[in-house]
């Protein structure tokens, strides 16, 4: 008899929330309809979960695809908006149990009463479905900071629930923790209401779990609750085996701690500080729609303020010092301003006048006047909404734009930014796909790209306020690409069946195929463009390389030979000699160029709660690898000296015999602040190399505020690069336990 599916951990589901949301938006095009579809999948995952240990990502994809296929064709954007308005009426259907309803209301009020940034982190994690990694990437924070915030928030919620509901709070929350207890009316609720209840139930279940496993008066400064055995530590460094003996390691296996220090208390002299003001347009009217005010201090700590409906914002209890303010809103040019909060003026007002951006409405239709994306979906059921992207350039482009990687608001391409969501979308007529905000005035060129392929280019003049692309379905479909290869055993040329061949573009549009008995694998009709090709087979090395899926043709890769895999194992050791968790990046090192490429994410087992502190990696080849902690720019409030990081750890597997007794030691992080002192940061990048010339970190400057990088003590080269990668400035810096600042200029 088949056993019922065991519910998988909520954390594992949340890890795929971002992928699921993007896929839904690709399939449906309408953000509201996409949100509803994702929430329905969430409910199905909570009520009828897949088997734990199965391919959760694949299961979610299948459930969502089936849901969209059965419902999407009959759902219009108007109906999606009506479902939005149905949220309030759905609340009346919570059920007949007044205790459940009161408890639900108490949890909701407690969540909304949390102080920032705890409230935002909880809402992102439990209500938007973002994983801790996705939140860290979105807010430029270490994952450990996000986890610490969640832990502190849950502890505060648990204490408040006990205070407000008395000794009966556990029983009340337990009713919410079980979805079937929410009442018969749940079937009739709007999807958004059901997900809100499911999210509250998830929080409730965690709080109940904490209360049953922890002292009710204990705080999560000692990292109790669900994360008691999952220290959020990053970093790696090879250690001399003589420094940590096997006996020491064995004695400490059960002593892995997850202590996360509470953020330092705000000094009394800062409690009365206040920075406030108003955002307004050139006519003096308040600006509040999708508006942001972000403060970054001289230590690269970032704070985001809430902009109210009247355009006002404020920051309270912030330290004295210099700040870089980033101000923006939908339809306006994002600007920066440097300011200083001084002890003699602890109450500082700054009003910002935003300049309207030059916006071009973009339309894409067929010669018959049909919306292009809708016409394409009828012929090819694929995510067209996020691969048809308009890009503005100063000169007429060639047929390829390799820098294009998907949509939309968060990814500027060329000399503009394309936005396909927001309140201004309602002003578009039929066939409108979005708004292109320009960084400069015309004349210029606007191209409609399909993935990275340029379909059509139109010259824009000063008088133009919109641009119309008219293309036939055949013109777009003709750009589809096909990739073909044969996978064989490198030692005897025997075809390998069931090898997984996957094209990855760094977003969610991964496509794959499986080789047949002849070793032939064909990925048909994929989006044209450059991909990372990943080939895996059980017991063999994983091949990762770059491939261009050419438009309208079959890209023939010939034979790809796989050798038997090399397995690598190492113990991850903390500064005190105890085994601990760690998240790492592992890339292939080319010794002739010192370039590390084809990174993959790996982590020690302790991250998943086994407490073994052992890093195990399969599918490696006979190559040299470099392993390092995932680089993370710091914008949080915690004590950065508690972070654990490392430099590059080189692992030579060319002999096919992995090293034995390999140990990776995590070291306390030091902070390197990088600042471009002339403030001209458009298109500039940075790169950090260690003493051996290997790259340790790199990235792009998006604002003039300093960037903070966590690195181990050592000597580094910091380079300032232009948009094409040419080195403008190089400085050598010695990093010790104190924060070091590097000033770069062109």
Per-residue pLDDT tens digits for 545-554: 889 999 999 9
Lowest mean pLDDT among 11-15, 122-126, 561-565, 643-647: 11-15
pLDDT given at position 220: 30
What is the SS3 string spanning 105-125? HHHHHHHHCCCCCHHHHHHHH
The Cα–Cα gap between 735 and 690 comes to 11
More confident residue, 218 or 648: 648
Res. 32 pLDDT band, cuts 50 70 90: low
List the domain boundaries for the chain: 10-227, 231-257+481-666, 269-353, 358-477, 669-746
Other CB atoms within 10 A of residue 449 CB: 24
Instruction: Please state whether beta strands 624-629 and 663-665 pair in parallel, antiparallel, or not at all (unpaired).
Output: unpaired
What's domain 231-257+481-666's superfamily in CATH? Carboxypeptidase-like, regulatory domain (2.60.40.1120)
CATH of 269-353, one of 2.60.40.10, 3.30.590.10, 4.10.780.10, 1.10.3720.10: 2.60.40.10
> Using one digit for the tens of pLDDT, what is the confidence trace for 168-196?
555 444 444 443 333 333 333 444 444 45
**E strand intervals along 604-693:** 614-620, 624-629, 644-645, 649-652, 663-665, 667-668, 670-676, 685-689
Lowest mean pLDDT among 327-336, 532-541, 617-626: 327-336
The Cα–Cα gap between 366 and 362 comes to 14
pLDDT given at position 174: 44
The Cα–Cα gap between 579 and 251 comes to 10
pLDDT at 709 over 80: yes
The Cα–Cα gap between 295 and 336 comes to 10
> Using one digit for the tens of pLDDT, what is the confidence trace for 502-551?
998 766 567 899 999 999 999 999 999 998 899 999 999 999 888 999 99
pLDDT, mean of residues 641-650: 82
Cβ 513 vs Cβ 560: under 8 Å: no
Cβ 740 vs Cβ 670: under 8 Å: yes
CATH number of 669-746: 2.60.40.10
Cβ 13 vs Cβ 21: under 8 Å: no
Sign of CA dihedral 278, 283, 285, 290: negative
Cβ 458 vs Cβ 467: under 8 Å: yes
Average pLDDT, the chain: 75
Asked if domains 231-257+481-666 and 269-353 share a fold, the reply is yes
Could you tell me which of 556, 532, 534 has the C-alpha nearest to residue 543?
534
pLDDT given at position 218: 34
Bond before 117 cis per omega within 30 degrees: yes
Cβ 582 vs Cβ 664: under 8 Å: yes
> Using one digit for the tens of pLDDT, what is the confidence trace for 396-411?
999 998 878 655 444 5
Instruction: Please state whether beta strands 644-645 and 667-668 pair in parallel, antiparallel, or not at all (unpaired).
Output: antiparallel
DSSP 216: T
């Amino acid at each position: 008899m088949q056993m019922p599916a065991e519910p998988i951990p909520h954390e594992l589901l949340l890890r795929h929330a971002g992928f699921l949301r993007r896929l839904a938006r690709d399939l449906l095009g309408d953000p509201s309809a996409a949100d509803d579809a994702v929430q329905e999948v969430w409910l199905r995952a909570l009520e009828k979960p897949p088997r734990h240990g199965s391919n959760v990502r694949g299961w979610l994809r299948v459930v969502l695809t089936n849901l969209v296929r059965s419902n999407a064709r009959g759902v219009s954007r108007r109906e999606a908006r009506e479902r939005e308005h149905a949220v309030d009426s759905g609340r009346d259907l919570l059920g007949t149990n007044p205790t459940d309803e009161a408890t639900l209301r108490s949890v909701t009020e407690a969540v909304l009463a949390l102080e920032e940034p705890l409230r935002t982190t909880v809402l992102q994690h439990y209500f938007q479905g973002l994983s801790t990694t996705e939140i860290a990437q979105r807010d430029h924070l270490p994952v450990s900071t996000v986890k610490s915030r969640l832990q502190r928030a849950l502890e505060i919620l648990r204490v408040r629930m006990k205070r407000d509901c008395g000794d009966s709070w556990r029983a009340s929350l337990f009713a919410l923790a079980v979805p079937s207890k929410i009442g018969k009316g749940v079937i009739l609720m709007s999807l958004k209401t059901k997900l809100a209840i499911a999210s509250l139930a998830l929080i409730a279940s965690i709080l109940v779990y904490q209360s049953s496993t922890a002292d009710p008066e204990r705080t999560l400064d000692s990292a109790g609750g669900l994360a008691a055995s999952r220290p959020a530590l990053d970093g790696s460094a090879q250690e001399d085996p003589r420094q940590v003996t096997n006996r020491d390691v064995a004695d400490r296996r059960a002593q892995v701690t997850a202590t996360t220090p509470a953020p330092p208390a705000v000094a009394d002299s800062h409690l009365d500080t206040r920075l406030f003001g108003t955002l307004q347009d050139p006519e003096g009217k308040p600006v509040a729609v999708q508006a942001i005010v972000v403060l970054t201090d001289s230590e690269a700590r970032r704070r985001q303020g809430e902009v109210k409906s009247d355009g006002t914002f404020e920051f309270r209890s912030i330290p004295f010092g210099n700040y870089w303010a980033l101000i923006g809103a939908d339809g306006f040019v994002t600007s920066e301003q440097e300011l200083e909060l001084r002890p003699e003026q602890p109450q500082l007002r700054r009003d910002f006048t935003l300049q309207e951006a030059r916006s071009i409405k973009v339309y894409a239709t067929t010669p018959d006047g049909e919306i292009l994306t809708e016409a394409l979906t009828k012929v090819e059921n694929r995510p067209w909404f996020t691969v048809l992207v308009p890009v503005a350039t100063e000169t007429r482009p060639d047929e390829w734009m390799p820098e294009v990687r998907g949509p939309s608001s968060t990814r500027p391409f060329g000399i503009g930014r394309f936005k396909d969501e927001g309140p201004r979308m309602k002003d578009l007529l039929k066939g409108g796909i979005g708004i292109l905000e320009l960084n400069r005035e015309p004349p210029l060129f606007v191209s409609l790209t399909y993935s990275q392929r340029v379909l059509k280019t139109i010259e824009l003049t000063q008088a133009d306020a919109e641009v119309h692309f008219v293309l036939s379905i055949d013109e777009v479909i003709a750009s589809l690409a096909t990739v073909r290869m044969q996978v064989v055993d490198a030692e005897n040329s025997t075809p390998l069946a069931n090898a997984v061949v996957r094209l990855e573009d760094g977003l969610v549009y991964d496509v794959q195929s499986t080789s047949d008995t002849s070793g032939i694998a064909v990925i048909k009709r994929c989006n044209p463009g450059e991909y990372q090709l990943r080939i895996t087979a059980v017991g063999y090395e994983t091949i990762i390389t770059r491939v261009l899926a050419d438009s309208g043709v079959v890209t023939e890769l010939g034979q790809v030979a796989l050798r038997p895999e090399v397995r690598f194992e190492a113990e991850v050791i903390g500064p005190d000699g105890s085994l601990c968790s760690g998240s790492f990046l592992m890339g292939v090192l080319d010794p002739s160029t010192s370039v590390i490429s084809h990174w993959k994410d790996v982590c020690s087992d302790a991250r998943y709660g086994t407490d073994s502190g052992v890093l195990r990696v399969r599918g490696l080849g006979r190559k040299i690898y470099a392993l390092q902690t995932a680089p993370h720019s710091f914008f949080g409030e915690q004590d950065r000296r508690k972070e654990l990081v490392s430099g590059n750890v080189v692992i030579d597997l060319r002999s096919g015999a992995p090293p034995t007794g390999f140990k990776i030691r995590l070291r306390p992080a030091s902070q390197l602040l990088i600042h471009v002192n002339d403030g001209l940061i458009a298109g500039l990048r940075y790169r950090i190399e260690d003493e051996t010339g290997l790259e340790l970190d790199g990235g792009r400057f998006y604002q003039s505020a300093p960037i903070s990088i966590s690195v181990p003590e050592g000597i580094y080269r910091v380079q300032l690069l232009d948009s094409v990668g040419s080195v403008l400035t190089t400085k050598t810096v010695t990093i010790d336990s104190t924060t070091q600042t590097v000033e770069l200029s062109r």
